[in-house]
Structure 1
Amino acid sequence: MTIATSKAGFRELLASSPFRRFFVSRAVSLIGDAAVPTALALSMTELGYSSGWLGGMLAAAILPKVAFLVFGGIIADRVAKRPLMVASSISCGMAQLITVALLVTGANLWWALACQGIYGMCVAAGHPATFGYLPHCVERHQLGAANALIGGWTGGAALLGPAVTAAFSAMGEPAWALAFDGASFLLAAALLHGLPRGAADVDENSQGGVSALRDGWQAMRELPWLLRMTVVDSTILLLVSAPFMVLGPGLVTQRMSANVWALLMLLFAAGELVGSLVSGKLPLRRPILAAALSLLALGLPPLCLAAGAGLAPLSVAQVLAGASVGAYGVLVSTVVQESVPREHLAKVGALSSIGSFAFLPVGYVMAPLLASLAGPTPLLWAAAAWTVVSVGVLSADQRLRGFRGHRED
């Protein structure tokens, strides 16, 4: 018997009005989010600000998100999720619109940094609710296909987002792409109107505050493989993804051209789209083992760069790496949503996200420092090697190898 996720079709899902509207809401918001990094980079450059200010703007949104995500998880398990998602989307949209107004009017940039910090806090409040809401608008056997559609669109949005920014840039004002993001949040909130509230999933014995956090941690410990995967995720982002993202643009531009790096990012997004859609339909008996093994592909891009490979091998590596990220996200999210009690789902999702991404900003800072000492090539060789070590650590866990997920009778 295979896991339940393979038996739900995309057409069946999209025929359901609650999921269709939830999916469209997420799709609109994801396009706006995908436009932001490029929009900030082009806007800050056009306004004459240094790369330090750009890094500050990006960090201003990421750090509050990491810091407050766990509190968002606690809240999302104790209140109705749809109103929380609506409030988060409206707040995020207003923060982005105010940021645009500050940038285009030449106001003090510290106010824009503050807006991005508020934006990060609002994302932290809404993201766990979004993760925990999915089981409220689809049947259990549909979770795999639902995650596949959302994950696939995440890759599709990554393709469309930079194109949106490019269009605004061609019209002379890339900052307006941030306004597009703000408007997408407001539209996403409107699309959620009338959907199931996603009632609070609270255990009658549970408490708030530290006790709720402890309950989430205990629920996460019930899935020992998830703890191990979260730790491995954090090391891969720190030692593999961050060095490639920081050192890759310079090496690719030096060896080929700046346009090649943009192409590689698009290929990664295309791979993520395909990997997400395909993985949700595969009848996998051991979905978590398959997810762990898929991470091997993340070592291919740094390996190709370290070996001085040309455009064709790098392109294939990026597609495979994107496919691995898409498949990994769909498979792990589906199993977690099937396995964790609803009253702890948002907290577990938040804890896992924090554990995975907490060290990514550190990697962005460490990579250029280490490269200045040892050179970029040894660092990329080490990144590729660490990917193999990480997958080996995961595969050595007998509980992970033997986990078969939930089945249908």
Structure 2
Amino acid sequence: MSRLGPLREREFRLLFAGRTISMAGSAMAPIALAFAVLDLTHSTTDLGLVLAARTVPTVGFILFGGVIADRLPRHRVMVASNLTSGAGQAITAALLITGHAQLWELGALAAVNGSSSAFFMPASSGILPQIVAAPLRQQANAILGLARNGTSIVGAALGGLLVAAAGPGWAIGIDAMSYGLAAAFLAALNLPPGLRIEGSTMFKELHDGWRDFWSRTWLWAIVLQFAIVNAVGAGATNVLGPSVANAHYGGAGAFGAILAATSLGLVLTGTVMLRWRPHRLLRTATFGVFPMALPLIAFAGPAPLVVVIVAGFVSGVGIEIFGVLWDTAMQQEIPGEKLSRLSAYDMLGSLVLIPIALATAGPVAQVIGQRRTFIGAAVLIVVMTALVLLSRDVRDLERKTI
């Protein structure tokens, strides 16, 4: 079986191109937005509020996004989302480049981006089984992961350099253009219409989705785990990380290098996942979560920059193992007509606490100190990951032979 077999299919090539282009631009955006806010107000609390402003509407709309993605052609939903995000980023870039940006404007435009993501993410999760046969789906997930992580390496590094050399507005402007180009590729996809059930309403489909979600112990257990893992990881890394980089490592360039190292770990592991097919999907995936604590421990020191970079790399290895196997398990165990809806419940649970973590990371660090905040976040990641392994449904879910 060819490692790149899915790329022989036209629809997957278009999806691959659209996703890769968009991700290349978006890899620059987090660094650019973080340092735009820090340059504007010098406050980690303000940064947390702007990041939370993006996440809150994602959480608020994502269940509806999942239902819409199951009802309508998923690529059309993705195109509309990309165009909306591109417009929001273009306005953000213009405000920053002209020097007229205010904090509330950055927060409002971040909310626009978060709202559109609430529709893009479930559609993106559900589209792969429509265009890739079951035996090739892990390869397809790995290929998309390689693209995402490869662009993250380049994007994070270039984003840091571009922010340092020209300012954050230019990096966000590139992100805006990438959304438009990606939308053109996604619009060319030829997919069947949505799968709306006659006589069904949106709220009934939400209720049915919740029932299906709760009936799968492995699903809600890992979503509960990641409600905590994602929240503490996002708060510590995205809010406090840039502050540590400014104070100890020289600023945006160093923070970009740390993110690029994480992405390098993701990419190299992605090449392994093209071939490695562990039998116990979720047991193996969950062990990959433990290394996510390492960068937080390194930031707590703060350790020398090279140590933080190595920790980021190892974390990336674990994240990619989890990500590819989790996507494969979801696509294997959940019927295609319900996949976007249940993916939306997965995303809701995984994101719901992030706005709180982003908004409170700065104040918590001011009260107990950055070191204790980082260590506390690392401990929570380890504890939640150990607890989820107590579930037999997680430990024993097997790959099906097709």
Q: TM-score, normalised by structure 2?
A: 0.89
Q: CA deviation at 1:329?
A: 1.1
Counterpart code for 2:25 = G
Please give the alpha-carbon distance, in whole angstroms, between the structure 1 residues aligned to 2:373 and 2:187. 49
Residue number among 148, 156, 170 corresponding to 1:154 in the alignment: 148
Please give the alpha-carbon distance, in whole angstroms, between the structure 1 residues aligned to 2:49 and 2:196. 38
Aligned residues of 1:268 and 1:319 also touching (Cα < 8 A) = yes
Please give the alpha-carbon distance, in whole angstroms, between the structure 1 residues aligned to 2:320 and 2:128. 18
Residue 226 (1) aligns with residue 233 (2): no
Coordinate RMSD, CA, aligned = 2.7
1:179 alignment partner in structure 2? 173
Counterpart code for 1:84 = V
CA offsets 1:280-319 (integer angstroms, 9 cap, x no match): 4212110110011111111222334456654554333221
Residue number among 113, 119, 127 corresponding to 1:125 in the alignment: 119
1:348 alignment partner in structure 2? 342
CA offsets 1:338-368 (integer angstroms, 9 cap, x no match): 2111121111111111101211222233334
Q: CA deviation at 1:95?
A: 2.1
1:386 alignment partner in structure 2? 380
Distance change in 2, residues 1:236/1:41 (3 Å): closer
Aligned residues of 2:82 and 2:180 also touching (Cα < 8 A) = yes
In the TM superposition, what are the counterparts of 1:244-323 in structure 2 within 5 Å? 244-251=237-244, 257-258=250-251, 260-306=254-300, 309-323=303-317
CA offsets 1:88-107 (integer angstroms, 9 cap, x no match): 22222222223323443455
Residue number among 15, 25, 33 corresponding to 2:26 in the alignment: 33
Q: CA deviation at 1:257?
A: 4.8
Q: CA deviation at 1:29?
A: 0.3
Counterpart code for 2:53 = A
Q: CA deviation at 1:210?
A: 1.8
Counterpart code for 1:39 = A
Aligned residues of 2:160 and 2:256 also touching (Cα < 8 A) = no
Counterpart code for 2:212 = A
Please give the alpha-carbon distance, in whole angstroms, between the structure 1 residues aligned to 2:67 and 2:301. 46
Please give the alpha-carbon distance, in whole angstroms, between the structure 2 residues aligned to 1:177 and 1:250. 20
Please give the alpha-carbon distance, in whole angstroms, between the structure 2 residues aligned to 1:341 and 1:300. 36
Please give the alpha-carbon distance, in whole angstroms, between the structure 2 residues aligned to 1:90 and 1:177. 18
Residue 214 (1) aligns with residue 207 (2): yes
Please give the alpha-carbon distance, in whole angstroms, between the structure 2 residues aligned to 1:181 and 1:358. 25
Moved more, 23-32 or 58-67: 58-67
Distance change in 2, residues 1:126/1:382 (3 Å): closer
Counterpart code for 1:210 = F
What stretches of structure 1 of length at least 5 have no aligned partner?
Answer: 1-7
Aligned residues of 1:203 and 1:343 also touching (Cα < 8 A) = no
Please give the alpha-carbon distance, in whole angstroms, between the structure 1 residues aligned to 2:302 and 2:371. 9
Q: Number of paired residues?
A: 399
Residue number among 4, 17, 21 corresponding to 1:24 in the alignment: 17
Residue 65 (1) aligns with residue 74 (2): no
Residue number among 221, 231, 241 corresponding to 1:238 in the alignment: 231
Counterpart code for 1:179 = G
What stretches of structure 2 of length at least 5 have no aligned partner?
Answer: none
Aligned residues of 1:276 and 1:329 also touching (Cα < 8 A) = no
1:5 alignment partner in structure 2? none
1:144 alignment partner in structure 2? 138
* Local SS of the residue matching 1:123: helix
* Local SS of the residue matching 2:189: coil
* Local SS of the residue matching 1:175: helix
Residue 398 (1) aligns with residue 392 (2): yes
1:91 alignment partner in structure 2? 84
Q: CA deviation at 1:119?
A: 2.4
Please give the alpha-carbon distance, in whole angstroms, between the structure 1 residues aligned to 2:299 and 2:159. 28
Distance change in 2, residues 1:256/1:18 (3 Å): closer
Please give the alpha-carbon distance, in whole angstroms, between the structure 2 residues aligned to 1:183 and 1:350. 27
Aligned residues of 2:28 and 2:156 also touching (Cα < 8 A) = yes
Runs of 4+ in 1 over 6 A off after TM superposition: none
CA offsets 1:188-238 (integer angstroms, 9 cap, x no match): 111123322243133457x22221111111222342111000001111223
Residue 14 (1) aligns with residue 2 (2): no
Residue 360 (1) aligns with residue 354 (2): yes
Distance change in 2, residues 1:174/1:391 (3 Å): closer
Please give the alpha-carbon distance, in whole angstroms, between the structure 1 residues aligned to 2:109 and 2:242. 29
Distance change in 2, residues 1:64/1:219 (3 Å): same
* Local SS of the residue matching 1:285: coil
Counterpart code for 1:287 = L
Percent of aligned positions with the same letter in both sequences? 28
Please give the alpha-carbon distance, in whole angstroms, between the structure 2 residues aligned to 1:31 and 1:269. 12
* Local SS of the residue matching 2:71: coil
Moved more, 119-128 or 14-23: 119-128
* Local SS of the residue matching 1:178: helix
* Local SS of the residue matching 2:28: helix
Q: TM-score, normalised by structure 1?
A: 0.88
CA offsets 1:248-283 (integer angstroms, 9 cap, x no match): 455566565545444322211111222333234212
